[in-house]
Amino acid sequence: MDKVGRFGRFSARLSRPFRTRNRPEDAQPESGQWTRPEGGRDLPHRSRGQRLRSLLTPRSVAGQVFLLQVTLVALLVAATAVALVLQARSQSAEAARDRVMAVGEAFANAPGVAQALDGPDPTAALQPRTEAARKRSGVDNIVVSTPAGIRITHRDPDLIGKHVVGPYKAAAHGKAFTVSTIVGPLGLSVYAAVPVFRPDGSVAGIVYPEITIKNVNEAAQRRLPVLFGAAGAALVLAAGGSALVSGRLRRQTRGLAPAEMTRMYEHHDAVLHAVREGVLIVGSEGQLLLANDEARRLLDLPEDAEQHEVTDLGLAPGLGELLASGRTASDEVYLAGDRLLAVNLRSVDRHDGPAGSVATVRDTTELRALAGRAELARERLQLLYDAGMRIGTTLDVARTAEELAQVAVPRFADVVTVELLDPVLRGDEPESVSTEMRRAAITDLEETHLFYPVGKLIRYVPTTPAAVGITNGHGVLEPDLAASDGWRAQAPERAQRILDHGFHSWVAVPLWARGVVLGVANFWRAGAFSPFDEDDLSFAEELAARAAVCIDNARRYTREHTMAVTLQRSLLPRGKPEQSALEVAHRYLPAQAGVGGDWFDVIPLPGARVALVVGDVVGHGLHAAATMGRLRTAVHNFSALDLPPDELLAHLDELVSSIDAEEATDIEGAGITGATCLYAIYDPAGGVSTVARSGHLGPALINPDGTVTFPDIPVSPPLGLSAGLPIETATLHLPADSQLVLFTDGLIESRDRDIDTGLALLGSVLAAQPGTAPEETCNVVLEALLPEHPVDDIALLVARTRLLGPDQVAEWDIPSDPAAVSRVRAEASRQLGTWGLEENAFTTELIVSELVTNAIRYGTPPVRLRMLRDTTKLICEVSDASSTSPHLRRAAITDEGGRGLFLVAQCSQRWGTRYTPRGKIIWTEQFLHDNAAEPDVSMDILLDQWTDTEL
């Protein structure tokens, strides 16, 4: 295939860019004509007559197109005329049938027609009517005949009485029909035969409306002028279009003759093969149509590459697919051997031209190194961005160090280790620079186990890069570990194993934040990784600087969190108080966001009773913890007064309101935004628990048989919001081995679980563990209900009840008679003998005597004595109906009384007064052990306490 032939099918595409590039000055709008550049011939301006003669010349393209258009228009006009005649004929015949049938039906059904046919002179009656109907309907004739076909009426009177011509018998039998026939020179004629029915349904006669189609082609003839006019207009438009096409062709070819166009293509071919840029033309089917010399050199194409599929030419990977795809590409880079080629691809399938694409290829090997550096810079920027997103996601020092190691492997190094100073791990600020650090994180891509594990305390020798970097305050690069001896001094055998495993370079960067060294990050490379260079060192320093800020933030948070937790722990119970009424287990878990205001307490009360407390202060941080400590102290103080639960919560509510009122005047004061509390007192003597709550969740109760219930405890508003409303209590009767479960809302409520769902889950968990100890119950509950990321504190208190048996309680009703004192004292002494407490008899008799005597003298009946023997204490209680409380004082020498309570206080470890709904109780406690305190009272004082009658 010669070069002119190859370019022939792409002349329109190839000529436009060369013309545009070589002759931008061709257009001269001022002159209204086109001129050729210097050395060519001018394109003269042509008059309208010249353009018309060119149009009519068959040798011109425009003339040939015009003749073709004339032929096509003539054929279309002839075909249209024939179609109009046939259509008019069909439509006229169909319209005539409908018309005669309508006229016949109308006349046959007209009133009086049937009677006239049966009359004495039907012709005289119907002839005028048929003529009138003929004229009104516009038909040519209306004939009426008898059923036998004898005409009664006719347009021509001479034909009346004669037999009709044509079919009529079907109408005589009652069926109407139409007939088309040719009637001599009149042409096509259509008539109908319509029967006239009598009232009884018989045929009285037949009506024959008739119409003659004088000129079937009248409708077509009326349309022919329009048709010819449209044909003429089409010819005019065709002529005008041909003239425009002729002018456009001349403008596009610049008036060139075929010889001149051939010479132009030869010039294009020479230029195409002379440029130092490869050019390929690919057909729509993916076959190579043309490749210039530069393209053959760059792509190493064979001589017969044309007309072969581009994917079969052995081009660079991906390049053949790109050329065959035909998609648009701009400076896409492909590696062909040792050359780096930039490829541009554009489609030429525009303006109804030939389908295919043109590709240009240029050698950009010298840009390869620059592109590699740009790609490396892009990867480093992406790695820094990822580090900013992945490092510091938590406020945990160790986790932040792990994130630094993980983000750099495997994109920057094979192994990354992070060592931190011990104070940093604890949350403290380092006091001095030290090379003794503890490994906080390691990420080993291949898990070679060549490096020290996490938690190992490492003392870097001064010659290692890590020690040098910490001392000098900047990163240190060791590009060739095999050639360096300084780092081997740390551990020679381990260093040799590291070298044997293929590690070849090391970068150590100190972690600086706010002018303090927190640790060091070590980056190791092995295998296919190229050794570290100065650019890598700079990047490692940037990465370490960002991570150091995150580690310092985590360190400072750890310190503050530790301080807050320490404060809170100091405010919470540190152990279990000594008591025998309940077996108690408790758990406290702070939220991840920091310490909060949840608390619990177990407070021993007089009479072997125990108070259980669970509370919650809304919020987190030091303020919530401090508020919790204030409320817990207040509960302890109110409990010391032995107040019932409702009165205690009422006093606590007043305290919270007072605190809020005081802190409301302080601009920076936060106040107590919300606090709840549940307070329960359990009495083992009767197995009764009195419970009250202010805004807090009620307890769960595990019965001895394993069933779980949530007792209905009246709820009062949260603390500080009751506005003087009374607080109600509930009394629970708890058998032995019942478990009372108290908790805060952090246990059952979370982001994905509401309170009702949490309570139901808690009930099912408790029911599935019948008979377990409180410690085990706490473990099971936390394992089942603890959220993955707690957002609130959790306080859990589980208490299993115990009862004092009948052999541990002794009661006496005492009459209001001083003489009963000695009897009661003697009965108490005998009870102590029964309990094996003879060594406590003297002290107990003294206490009982004083308390009973005071109740009889100063109290109000009924008076009652109760003695309780606990595992560690002996309790004496004397109750009466008076609310007057005795007070301890030191009596003067001249006073006759006032020494009884003094003696009681000296003979017991604890004593006090508590009020009941019907009076008060004076109680004492004596410890039951070998080191129990003996009374230190002189005999004279003791004898003065009784009268002769009492003795």
Tens-digit pLDDT profile for residues 354-370: 678 888 888 877 666 66
Structure confidence at residue 890 as a pLDDT band (50, 70, 90): low
Q: Distance (Å, rounded) from C-alpha 809 to C-alpha 805?
A: 7
Based on the number of CB atoms within 10 Å of its own CB, is 400 exposed (0-12), middle (13-18) or buried (19 or more)? buried
For residue 368, what are its two tokens?
């390869």
- The predicted pLDDT at position 724 comes to 73
- The DSSP H or E segment spanning 493 is helix 492-500
Q: Tokens 């075909």: give the residue.
A: 79
Q: Which of 807, 840, 849, 803 is nearest to 949 (CA)?
A: 849
DSSP track, 807-857: GGEEEEEE-S-TTHHHHHHHHHHHHHHHHT-GGGHHHHHHHHHHHHHHHHH
Which range is least confidently modeled, 341-345, 732-736, 810-814? 341-345
Which range of 72-76, 133-137, 257-261, 895-899 scores highest in mean pLDDT? It is 133-137
> 234 or 758: which carries more pLDDT confidence?
758
Given pLDDT bands bounded at 50, 70 and 90, which one contains residue 776? very high
In a 10 Å sphere around its CB, with 0-12 CB exposed, 13-18 middle and 19+ buried, how is residue 23 labelled? Answer: middle
- How many CB atoms lie under 10 A from the CB of residue 942? 15
pLDDT at 126: 86
Give the bridge partners for 795, in sequence order: 588
Tokens representing residue 102 in the block: 């309508």
CA pair distance 250, 235, nearest whole angstrom = 22
**Tokens for 237?**
């438009």
42 close to 35: Cβ distance less than 8 angstroms: yes
Helices within 2-60 (DSSP H only)? 3-8, 11-22, 48-56
Question: How many Å apart are CA 825 and CA 278, to the nearest integer?
Answer: 126
Report whether 203 contacts 197 (CB < 8 A). Answer: yes
pLDDT band at 296 (very low <50, low <70, confident <90, very high): confident
Instruction: Tell me the per-residue pLDDT of 115-161, one tens digit each, with 9 for 90 and over.
Output: 888 888 888 888 888 888 888 887 888 899 998 888 889 888 888 88
Q: CA nearest 176: which of 245, 122, 97, 238?
A: 97
Angle between helices 900-907 and 841-858 (to 10 degrees): 150
Q: Which residues contact 379 (CB under 8 A, 6 or more apart)?
A: 411
Residues 722 and 676 sit within 8 Å (Cβ to Cβ)? no
Query: Residue 17: what pLDDT?
Result: 40
46 has a pLDDT exceeding 80: no
- Give the DSSP letter of residue 718: P
pLDDT digits (tens, 9 = 90+) for 829-841: 898 888 988 888 8
Residue predicted with more confidence, 923 or 565: 923
CA separation for the pair 685, 704 (Å, rounded): 18
Omega of the bond leading into 862 within 30 degrees of 0 (cis): yes
Q: Is the pLDDT of residue 2 over 70?
A: no
Q: What's at 587, amino acid-wise?
A: R
The token pair at 493 is: 């055998």
Cα–Cα distances (Å) from 641 to 605, 637, 648, 651, 913, in that order, read 10, 7, 9, 11, 8
**Which distant-in-sequence residues (6+ apart) come within 8 Å of 102 by Cβ?**
none
Task: Report the alpha-carbon distance of residue 115 to residue 126 in Å, rounded.
Answer: 10
Q: pLDDT tens digits, residue range 619-642?
A: 777 777 788 888 989 999 999 888
Mean pLDDT within 201-224: 72
232 versus 257: the higher-pLDDT residue is 232
The three state secondary structure string of 174-211 is CCCEEEEEECHHHCEEEEEEEEEECCCCCEEEEEEEEE
Provide the 8-state DSSP code for 876. Answer: E
Percent of the residues in the chain that have a pLDDT greater than 90, as a whole number: 26
Tokens of 50: 């010249």
Q: Give the pLDDT band (50/70/90) at residue 798.
A: very high
Measured distance CA(35)–CA(23) in Å, rounded: 10
Pull the structure tokens for residue 645.
Answer: 């639960």
**223 vs 898, higher pLDDT:** 223
Q: Mean per-residue pLDDT for 934-938?
A: 50
Tokens of 794: 């959790």
Q: What tokens were used for 910?
A: 């604890």
**Residues 908, 910, 916, 920: is their CA dihedral positive or negative?**
positive
Tally of CB atoms within 10 A around 198: 13
pLDDT of 502 above 80: yes
Placement of tokens 């001149």 in the chain: 260
What DSSP assignment string belongs to 649-686?
HHHHHHHHHHHHHHHHTSTT------EEEEEEEEETTT
Q: What own/partner pairs with CB < 8 Å and gap ≥ 24 does 79-84 have?
A: 80/227, 81/220, 81/224, 81/227, 84/219, 84/220, 84/223, 84/224, 84/227
Q: Which position has the token pair 């108290």?
A: 742
How many other β-carbons are positioned within 10 Å of the β-carbon of residue 759?
Answer: 18
The answer to whether residues 456 and 583 touch, using CB atoms and an 8 Å cutoff, is no
Q: What is the pLDDT of residue 172?
A: 82
For residue 89, the model assigns a pLDDT of: 64
- Of 442-451, 468-477, 856-865, the range with the lowest mean pLDDT is 442-451
pLDDT at 872: 83
Banded pLDDT at 16 (limits 50, 70, 90) = very low
Contacts with 124 (C-beta within 8 Å, 6 or more apart), sequence order: none
Is the pLDDT score of 732 beyond 90?
yes
State the Cα angle at 161 between 157 and 163, rounded to 5°: 115
Contact call for residues 564 and 595 (beta carbons, < 8 A): yes
Contacts of 317 (CB under 8 A, 6+ apart): 334
Whole-number pLDDT of residue 223: 64
pLDDT beyond 60 at 712: yes
Mean pLDDT, residues 664-673 taken together: 55
Q: Which backbone phi and psi does 752 adopt, to 5 degrees?
A: -110, 20
Q: DSSP assignment, residue 242? A: H
> Bigger pLDDT: 948 or 275?
275
In this predicted structure, the answer to whether residue 249 has a pLDDT above a threshold of 80 is no
| pLDDT, tens only, 676-709 | 999 999 999 889 999 999 999 999 999 999 999 9
Degrees, nearest 5: CA angle 256-258-262? 100
* Tally of CA atoms within 13 A in the half-sphere of 625 that contains its CB: 21
Q: Which of 405, 374, 373 is nearest to 387 (CA)?
A: 405
Give dist(CA 853, CA 950) in Å, integer.
10
Cross-strand partners of 739: 702, 800
Q: Is the pLDDT of residue 243 over 50?
A: yes
* pLDDT, greater one: 105 or 185: 105
Mean pLDDT on 775-802: 89
**Helix pair 368-390, 397-408: axis angle to 10 deg:** 160
pTM over 0.85: no
Q: Which residue has the higher pLDDT, 812 or 80?
A: 812
In this structure, are residues 528 and 503 in contact, taking their beta carbons and an 8 Å threshold?
no
Helix H or strand E segment including 800: strand 794-801
Average pLDDT taken over every residue of the chain: 80
Tell me the CB-side half-sphere exposure of residue 725, using CA atoms within 13 A.
15
**Helix residue ranges per DSSP H, 572-644:** 622-640
